[in-house]
A = this chain, B = another copy of it.
């Protein structure tokens, strides 16, 4: 695949001069792949804007009205707190990502990004497939239908990994056989057919790696991260989201700090939950207030977990 082709050249090229906003901390890691899972990576290809660009766009909207907000940090926190999303749309990040296909299928559901994915109609996918490390092989959760429970034993892990590897190797060998394309040490067999690539690919398993360029504005990127950094997100996409979060933190540190305080660490209370908190903060016993509320049993459990338990 193309992912290693130009890296050395890009890293070696001398910088050029620009009058655009530039973020040295992000320039330092530009083009550098951060390894993810067993064969994946994330790397920043380009970016537009910085914390000051958010402020600049907000000041166009609000004109003289923003003079009273004393500084950039205060304005960015105000915008984040009150969900003024458009100024954050004025920054943009372009990433090159390599990831297993079953994760790519989750990721692509976020429709507000621009994507160029490696095409297995045109080209041949590498022999690379995701095998979890044993500590990430978990049982089906008994309480959460879309979640994981306990980690499997080491014997189970060994068996699972054996099966996953065996099947991925076999399906990939079939894929290569059907393609009958030249490869390292594998010339075309002139006596055999070359099946169309767009057909042969159907035999690959969903843990095969693909890659894409993915470009997103900061507002929609933060929305993506808020969903995918969440502990309900599948581990295999969460690690990507956490790495991208670290890159965003070095790119727009003020926006990231505001995002962490007002979004990632925040929690939305329903009308009924607010009533319970009000009652409890103005003198009523919290358990009595919970008992008197219309909250469901599940909501009460969640309330206690959030506010009352260690």
B265 with A156: CB separation less than 8 A: no
Expressed in whole angstroms, the Cα–Cα distance for A62 and B262 within the complex equals: 30
* Contact partner, A115, options B86, B145, B170, Cβ 8 Å: B86
Expressed in whole angstroms, the Cα–Cα distance for A201 and B18 within the complex equals: 40
- What is the 8 Å Cβ interface bit string for chain A, positions 61-83, against chain B (1 contact, 0 not)? 11111101000000000000100
Q: Which residues of A are interface residues toward B (Cβ below 8 A)?
A: 1-2, 6, 10, 13, 15-22, 27, 30-31, 45-49, 53, 56-66, 68, 81, 86-87, 89-90, 92, 94, 96, 100-102, 104-105, 108-109, 111-112, 114-119, 121-124, 130, 132, 137-141, 145-149, 152-153, 156, 160, 163-164, 167-168, 170-171, 174, 177-179, 193-199, 201-207, 211-213, 215, 217, 234, 260-262, 264-272, 274, 277-278, 280-282, 286, 299, 306-308
For residue A118, which residues in chain B have a CB less than 8 angstroms away from its CB? 60-61, 63
Q: Assuming A199-B132, A272-B261, is B116 touching A57 (CB within 8 A)?
A: yes
Expressed in whole angstroms, the Cα–Cα distance for A104 and B194 within the complex equals: 24
CB distance from A30 to the nearest CB of B (A): 5
A116 with B61: CB separation less than 8 A: yes
Residue of A18, A49, A102, A266 contacting most chain B CB atoms (<10 Å): A18
* Contact partner, A213, options B57, B152, B174, B178, Cβ 8 Å: B57
Expressed in whole angstroms, the Cα–Cα distance for A266 and B272 within the complex equals: 8
B94 with A48: CB separation less than 8 A: yes
Expressed in whole angstroms, the Cα–Cα distance for A81 and B267 within the complex equals: 11
Expressed in whole angstroms, the Cα–Cα distance for A58 and B171 within the complex equals: 28
CB distance from A200 to the nearest CB of B (A): 8
Residue of B nearest to A197 (CB): B140
Q: Assuming A90-B213, A152-B195, A266-B269, is B202 touching A203 (CB within 8 A)?
A: no
A-B contact pairs, 18 of them (CB 8 A): A2-B59, A20-B46, A57-B116, A60-B211, A60-B213, A61-B122, A66-B122, A86-B116, A90-B114, A90-B213, A92-B92, A92-B215, A121-B234, A147-B198, A152-B195, A266-B271, A280-B280, A281-B286
CB distance from A103 to the nearest CB of B (A): 9
Expressed in whole angstroms, the Cα–Cα distance for A228 and B53 within the complex equals: 27
A167 with B160: CB separation less than 8 A: no
For residue A96, which residues in chain B have a CB less than 8 angstroms away from its CB? 60
